[in-house]
Amino acid sequence: MNRRQFLGTASAAAALPASANPVDKPALLGGTPMKLTGTRQWPVFDQTEEQAMIGVLRSGKWYRGSGQMVRKFEEQYAALTGAKHCLAVANGTSALLASISALGIDAGDEVIMPPYTFVATLNVILEKHALPIFCDTDRASFQMDAKKLESKITDRTKLIMPVHMGGASVDLDSILATGKKHNVPVLEDACQAHLGEWRNRKVGTYGVAGCFSFQASKNLNSGEGGAVLFNDEAFMEATRAFHSNQANSQSLNLRITEFQAALLMAQMTRLETQSKTREQNAAYLTKMLNEVQGIAPAKLYPGCTRNAWHLYMFRYDKQHFANMPREKFLKALAAEGVPASGGYNPLNKQPLLKRIFATRGYRRIFSDAELKRWEERNHCPENDKLCEEAVWLTQPTLLGPRSDMEVIAGAIRKIQRHAASL
Ligand SMILES: *Cc1c(COP(=O)(O)O)cnc(C)c1O
């Protein structure tokens, strides 16, 4: 079915009472589901990956100290991103931990981060017994609000850690300028933003370092894996030292294996093509969703010249859906064969934080008054609202055929037409 036929079917069906037409009736009420035709298969692989893995296996060189795969991957990833240096590590969390360790982030320091991110961004700060300071979200973009950053800086602020959420860039110009003005380094959490760009340069190459994840869900995948990009060689060497146990400085073992690196190089041969497909599908979907009242796709900042599209994120306004709660909307979408989720909960409100602040370590470092004041300093009202409105599609959905985007938009319009009866 082409787009015109599809739209024709949808509007003809709309003229009939829902009960009479199983195609127009929401699947949640027993109608025919819309169903994506793409397989949403992830990961994607063939003999290229098989040969890469068997090659490492048979070589017997499974450790980066004995083989060449990790070193080669680091060269390739640096070349791909335009970074001067790359250090591959065990996973994205290790990339963040090694970087903040090399930066000397320590107990009692304050680190500014967004409340809208994966918990790993927070976990590495807590691991250091540092204090996470949450900078509210710009609801329109789903990104950390750069305009609110400066008010969060104190003389204890040692790091700003923005996250390129969903694969789109934060407002790097403003964030880097604020960091520079106050002499605070900026570390980019680019774990969702492979090949993402700000002003035609890859994200992850702007800050003091940029961290990436190659965990199974990510756009570049080796099951687990991570990397840090650097422009400064001395800082790269400090991070490298931390990531591989040694006796003369604080360190851990956060090393990646030769298997992961070989798999990554094979997967990298697909990355550009997959990214283009996601971009084309996302642009088409945005065009259709912009015309649906009550659906607001995440806005991109003008400087974001390329979105990695790890997630397709939009806001759902129930007022345009007969006040149907978001959970019901997600259920109705799932019934149509379109899997979607509500995304993150507010990280600044996680009970985990209270439990960690109550530990011996934190109480030795921070006074009761300070921890009490933390709560007042960390309200993020815009983010609270966003967490109630957000809807995510994950990246494999954007790898399907173009017609799948019509299915998604069609399913949303169908749900809207019948919102009152759902
Ligand atoms: C995935 C992710 C991480 C952590 O990466 P792992 O490889 O799972 O350790 C960190 N930050 C963000 C924003 C992520 O999406």
3-state secondary structure of 88: strand
Q: Residue 406 — pLDDT band, cuts 50, 70, 90?
A: very high
Span 234-264, pLDDT tens digits: 999 999 999 999 999 999 999 999 999 999 9
Element (DSSP H or E) covering residue 230 = strand 226-230
Q: Note the helical H segments in 305-401.
A: 326-335, 351-357, 360-365, 368-377, 381-389
Rounded distance between C-alpha atoms, residue 109 and residue 98, angstroms: 16
Least confident range of 8-22, 62-76, 80-94, 291-305:
8-22
Pocket probe mutation, ligand 1, options 215, 224, 243, 309, max atoms within 8 Å of Cβ: 215
Span 85-143, pLDDT tens digits: 999 999 999 999 999 999 999 999 999 999 999 999 999 999 999 999 999 999 999 99
Least confident range of 54-58, 212-216, 359-363, 373-377:
373-377
415 lines ligand 1 (CB under 6 A): no
Mean pLDDT score across all residues of the chain: 95
Rounded distance between C-alpha atoms, residue 143 and residue 166, angstroms: 9
* Torsion of the alpha carbons at 287, 293, 294 and 297, rounded to the nearest 10: 10
Q: What are phi and psi of 313, to 5 degrees?
A: -115, 135
93 lines ligand 1 (CB under 6 A): yes
Q: Note the helical H segments in 212-257.
A: 233-242
Rounded distance between C-alpha atoms, residue 352 and residue 187, angstroms: 24
Write out the two tokens for 281: 């599908």
DSSP state, residue 158: E
Q: How many residues does the chain have?
A: 422
169 lines ligand 1 (CB under 6 A): no
CA of 127 to the centre of ligand 1 (A): 15
CA of 227 to the centre of ligand 1 (A): 11
User: Are 62 and 259 within 8 A, CB to CB?
Assistant: yes
191 lines ligand 1 (CB under 6 A): yes
Q: Write down the residue that tokens 């360190």 correspond to.
A: 251
CA contacts within 13 A on the Cβ side of 363: 7
215 lines ligand 1 (CB under 6 A): yes
Q: Write down the residue that tokens 């976990």 correspond to.
A: 123
Structure confidence at residue 39 (pLDDT): 77
Structure confidence at residue 255 (pLDDT): 98
3-state secondary structure of 268: helix
User: Are 124 and 102 within 8 A, CB to CB?
Assistant: no
Question: Is the link from the previous residue into 43 a cis peptide, with omega within 30 of 0?
Answer: yes
For the CA of 163, the nearest atom of ligand 1: 13
Pocket probe mutation, ligand 1, options 99, 192, 243, 344, max atoms within 8 Å of Cβ: 192
Q: How far is CA 216 from CA 224, 264, 267, in A?
A: 6, 11, 12
Write out the two tokens for 383: 């983010």
Q: Residue 18 — pLDDT band, cuts 50, 70, 90?
A: very low
Span 157-210, pLDDT tens digits: 999 999 999 999 999 999 999 999 999 999 999 999 999 999 999 999 999 999
Ligand 1, atom 7: closest residue by C-alpha: 92
> Which residue(s) pair with 295 in the sheet?
316
What fold is seen in the domain 47-266? Aspartate Aminotransferase; domain 2 (3.40.640)
205 lines ligand 1 (CB under 6 A): no
Nearest CA to 405 among 279, 285, 283, 310? 285
- Per the model's pLDDT, the better-predicted residue between 23 and 78 turns out to be 78
Per DSSP bridges, beta strands 110-113 and 85-89 are unpaired
CA of 124 to the centre of ligand 1 (A): 11
Give me Rg for the CA atoms of the chain: 23
CA of 50 to the centre of ligand 1 (A): 26
Pocket probe mutation, ligand 1, options 89, 93, 97, 113, max atoms within 8 Å of Cβ: 93
Rounded distance between C-alpha atoms, residue 316 and residue 338, angstroms: 15
Structure confidence at residue 17 (pLDDT): 54
For the CA of 91, the nearest atom of ligand 1: 7
Q: Residue 20 — pLDDT band, cuts 50, 70, 90?
A: low
Rounded distance between C-alpha atoms, residue 103 and residue 207, angstroms: 12
Ligand 1, atom 6: closest residue by C-alpha: 92
For the CA of 226, the nearest atom of ligand 1: 7
Mean pLDDT of all residues in 10-33: 70
Residues 6+ apart with CB under 8 A from 44: 270, 274, 399
Ligand 1, atom 5: closest residue by C-alpha: 92
Ligand 1, atom 10: closest residue by C-alpha: 120
56 lines ligand 1 (CB under 6 A): no
The domains of the chain are located at 47-266
pTM, two decimal places: 0.94
118 lines ligand 1 (CB under 6 A): yes
For the CA of 96, the nearest atom of ligand 1: 10
CA of 337 to the centre of ligand 1 (A): 27
